[in-house]
């Protein structure tokens, strides 16, 4: 089974952004489809968290996932290449993709909903 890429969330920032949007922990957890205890752990202890779950949190906050990921710890964001087994740095790949999509602008553009 392939490894799930994990990142270190910026828990205090997630909590601040959630509270700025007037969500209680329980309300926000329901919105993103998780248990409130899982959200509490992320906001307070910042354990390595799957990138897919972080994307759900970011979508619930209507922000890009890169805003709530601790960049200094992105070395953990690697997955093995399915062809050669060499590690692929997912964050570098993400940044290159964003740059390509935005014509060289490093800031992700807000998507039209």
The string of pLDDT tens digits covering residues 63-94 is 988 889 876 544 456 777 888 888 777 766 76
Q: Collect all residues with Cβ–Cβ distance below 8 Å to 42 and sequence separation of at least 6.
A: 9, 11, 14, 49, 57
pTM summary value: 0.62
Q: What is the domain class of 6-76 according to CATH? A: mainly alpha
Q: How confident is the model over 16-42, as pLDDT tens digits?
A: 999 999 999 999 999 999 999 999 999
Instruction: Give CA–CA dist 76/47, Å, rounded.
Output: 12
Instruction: Give CA–CA dist 95/113, Å, rounded.
Output: 22
Q: Where are the domains of the chain?
A: 6-76
- In angstroms, the first-to-last Cα distance of the chain is 34
């Amino acid at each position: 089974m392939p490894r799930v890429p994990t990142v270190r969330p910026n828990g205090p920032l997630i909590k601040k952004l959630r509270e700025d949007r007037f969500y209680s922990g329980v309300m926000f957890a329901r919105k993103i489809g998780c248990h409130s205890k899982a959200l509490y752990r992320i906001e307070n202890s910042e354990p390595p968290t799957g990138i897919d779950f972080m994307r759900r949190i970011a979508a619930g906050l209507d922000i890009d996932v890169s805003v709530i990921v601790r960049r200094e710890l992105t070395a953990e964001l690697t997955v093995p290449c399915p062809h050669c087994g060499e590690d692929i740095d997912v964050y570098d790949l993400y940044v290159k993709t964003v740059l390509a999509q935005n014509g060289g602008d490093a800031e992700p553009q807000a998507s039209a909903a």
